[in-house]
Structure 1
Amino acid sequence: MNLTQSQIEAARAQVPLAFQAPLPVRIRRYALWTFLIGLFCWCLYDFDMSPLRIWEGLGRFGRVLSFMFPPHVWDNWADFAEILNGLGETLAIAFLGTVLGAIFAVPLSLLGAKNIIKKSILRLTVRRGFDVIRAFETLILALIFIRAFGLGPLPGILAIAVSEIGTFAKLFSEAIENTSEKPVEGVKASGGSRLQQIRFAVAPQVNPVILSILLYNFESNVRSGTILGIVGAGGIGFLLSDRIAAYKWDEAWSIIFLIIVMVYIIDWLSGLIRSKVIGKWDGAK
């Protein structure tokens, strides 16, 4: 029996309680919202986020912005070449860290996928290892590696690589678990080994996803590489930190602008690669 909207409204007017959630459910909802709102307000108070402090901070921020304009324009090649070298170093750090992380993550992701490894103890142990690796922030890893290997790009590369091993392995294993078993059964029925099943049935399904993850994380690692440079892991971040420490705000803004341009170009190229390469995989299905 289909009821019209007018009939539903009439029934709602006659027995409004029948259209409401049960009382215990409503009490739990009100209690949850009260707790969340109270926690939010308490955090604002505890962190001294008062309107007066925010207003004063905005005033000081405006003065800093005024020092950034007009932006600095380098009038000699030697100074500008130093900035370009820093940008290239940051790009190289992000690229090498992403590639190294992916190289180690691919075999680990196979060990963490339940449709590849049937033994739950081994799989769960590997999965918990992913969680342990991802628990360390890239910046913390960079500080540790700086103490071990000294200043320069190497600590930044290792920090990104180690951090990405945990991230990539988790994402890759989840992509592998979401593949269809029908191609695997086809390769298996034709006499293919377990390795051939992975190579010819699983890999073609996950390759577009893996490529998309790699491209996105590479873009993210370019931004992370800038932050790592501030703590001494090389790249443009070190030059940016040096300009800020020297109160050369106009040069700092020019460097920030170049970083934005670099990230935009990388994003554009990544989108182009996705459309070209992943589009071919989609067309082959």
Structure 2
Amino acid sequence: MSNRDWTQPSEDALVTYRAEGGVAVITLQDPPANAYSYAMFRQLDDAILRARFDPEVHVLVLTGAGEKMFCAGANIEMLKSVDPYFKYNFCLHANETLNRLEQTSKLVIAALNGHCVGGGLEIAMAADLRIAKAGGGKIGLPEVALGVLPGTGGTQRLSRLVGKSKAIEWMIEGLSFTFEQARDEGLVNKLIEATDAASFLAGVIDYARRFVPPARASKAVGGIKRAVQSGLEMSFESGLALERELQQQLFQSEDAKEGFQAFLEKRPPAFRGR
């Protein structure tokens, strides 16, 4: 295949999108491995923007199709057949897409229904939380075995999640862990016991709805996410300035007024996400 073949829009739905009850579910769909191509990332980018612009969506849940694989990373057939110019721009676009996911001021949960390796883990690390199906698979960055490094943000995000020395060790050894081990290492936030992928996803969505109005002030959740995701990349003083600006925006929100009033009236607040 030529570079041009891989840049053509796909007629297949490689990413599906559905939104209900304040939660948008975005599914990587190219079984059996759900490996991503440029076309898949174009569709993922569109789905992220769709959720970002929808005022009725408060939480994004990102998962993979099927029972065995969240995502196995980049499509190796594509990488083998395209030239370095294409590969560079492919990685650049992937970085931009995951940055957009990370910077969207809505909570993002990666629902790991199956193995999450290579670029799949790089996608999951751009989420705010990672919830995995108990006993559902392995997680790791094995790119060194291919003679390359994790090139979709893996070197940067893993080191920020688990620390510099540990991240280097895991990547140079190409280590993989069970979801249970990954939770113990702080790479996975929660495990959900489930008999299949459908019941697992239902459990993740139930958890996601804890952060949807009227139960939770989703603008405050988004502000916390932005303060942490963006603030940690700044100096301490700049991070404090960002925190103040986000707090000022929240002070002017309907939800903050409701929260303070409900506290004074000793009743549960009824947030609206505004």
Which structure has the larger Rg over C-alpha atoms?
A: 1
Of structures 1 and 2, the one scoring higher in RCO (CA 8 A, sep 6+) is 1
The TM-score, its normalising length taken from structure 1, stands at 0.24
Which structure shows the bigger proportion of residues in helix conformation?
1
The TM-score, its normalising length taken from structure 2, stands at 0.25
